[in-house]
Amino acid sequence: MSSSLAGTVIEWYEFFIYGTASALVFNKLFFPNFDSFVGTLLSLSTFAVAFIARPVGAAIFGHYGDRIGRKTLLVISLSMMGGATFLMGVLPTYETIGALAPIGLVTLRLIQGISLGGEYGGAVLMSVEHADPKKRGLFGGIINTGASCGLILASVVFLALSYLPDDAFMAWGWRIPFLLSVILLIIGMVIRLKVTESPEFEKVRRTGKVQKLPIRTLFANHRGLVLLMAVSYLPAGAAFYLAAVFSLSYGTTTLGLTRSTMLLLVCLTNVLGIAGITYGGWLSDRFDRKKVYSLGIAGMIVTPWIWFLLMNTANTTAMFVGFVILFIPFCLTYGSMPAFFAQVFPPHVRYSGMAVGYSIGTVLGSGLSPLIATSLLGKNNNWPAVAIFVSVMGLAALLATTKMREIATSEPYVVASATT
């Protein structure tokens, strides 16, 4: 579990420093010829590019993860993410190389997306498949805290740098989080290379059930589950990125708050989120996993409205309460999700199924949600449109989740029900 968690924290740190920079820096340094609103949209578009690439990475890594094992692919994914992130830290800006700057940024972002598309499913499976069956929810929940841990680490680094004079921060300060990633990469690789292969994959290999084309087998027998999983994830991704990325531009641009205030709110919320996600995973070991997961989705239909109402007070205490309220149902869903999703697919296509289903869901639920939210918000603070957007995704996710068990138990290859 430690190797999965360490690698996941590092991957998410590297992923989130881009998200933070896209909201605070890239619109000015890589898209300077547009007004503030359009520049922010373009910057957030490059953030979304990685999510569009994630299904591609999920298909590639899932295919080989089901063929040659989880461990090898996790080492490759970590190397790709670390290399792309470091290069972002030395990338010249638009002022230096013109249009090549945003092109280089998008290319490196695509590599990050392909990497993370393969990372998440493998890291979760290495943890859940090694775990005692009675603790799979807890272990999976702990792995999912990697997102919050990575975001906290990214926010703390940017928070410390936010006290630099604006000229220094924009000139070189923003590069430091990207360059520091090389240290984390070395630590993560040392830990990850020591891990043993998943026992469930070893069993698949011993019994000769390794598929020649796992992706083809997946879509021939489980394509319905892949799509249901994608829809089921939508509100969790939207709620998290509403708080982690959209809130930064919303707070600084629309509400007129300082960069350090918004980063501190995001950081404190995710500190509580670590405990909440772990608790959600623990609950899923003691109660019906599907019900715990669905309860969180139901909550996320309502909480975006409360979050916006409290955000618009521009009072930091009220805003923090809003972040906590938004995160409570999110933690139930996100904490129970790893074990729930992992047991939907049988071992011989599990990496492919979980990686592809989850990654497709992240395209709209995570990657495009800050961009869509910013577009819906417009220049007139049309926040109800954003809240409706998240609520509709929640309703769709509830419907998809109710069908996941029925389809899963009817599949000929399934070896564990979706609510085990």
Query: In the structure, what pLDDT confidence band is assigned to residue 388 with cuts at 50, 70 and 90?
Result: very high
Q: Where are the beta strands (DSSP E) in 318-374?
A: none
34 sits in the region (left: phi over 0; alpha: psi -120 to 50; else beta) called beta
Determine the Cα–Cα distance for residues 167 and 161; give it in Å rounded to an integer: 12
* Side chain identity at residue 299, one-letter code: G
Distance, in Å, from the CA atom of 44 to the CA atom of 49, rounded to the nearest integer, reads: 9
> For residue 419, what pLDDT is reported?
34
SS3 category, 213: coil
Q: Which of 33, 287, 12, 6 is nearest to 126 (CA)?
A: 6
Q: Which residue has the tokens 């996600």?
A: 277
C-alpha distances out from residue 142 to 47, 92, 174, 239, 341, Å: 26, 37, 30, 19, 15
Q: Count the residues in the chain.
A: 420
**Residues 187, 209: Cα–Cα separation, whole Å:** 34
Confidence of residue 189 (pLDDT cuts 50, 70, 90): confident
334-361: pLDDT as tens digits? 999 888 888 888 777 888 888 888 888 8
| 195, 202 contact by CB (below 8 A) | no
Q: For position 309, what pLDDT does the model report?
A: 93
Q: Which residue has the tokens 């619109």?
A: 27
Considering the chain, what is the average pLDDT of its residues? 80
Retrieve residue 321's tokens: 């309460």
Reported pTM? 0.75
**pLDDT tens-digit profile of 59-118?**
888 877 777 777 777 788 888 888 888 898 898 988 888 878 888 888 888 888 888 777
Phi, psi dihedrals of residue 265, rounded to the nearest 5°? -60, -45
pLDDT of residue 32: 67
- Helices then strands, counting H and E runs in the chain, come out as 19, 0
Which domains does the chain show, CATH number per domain? Answer: 2-410 (1.20.1250.20)
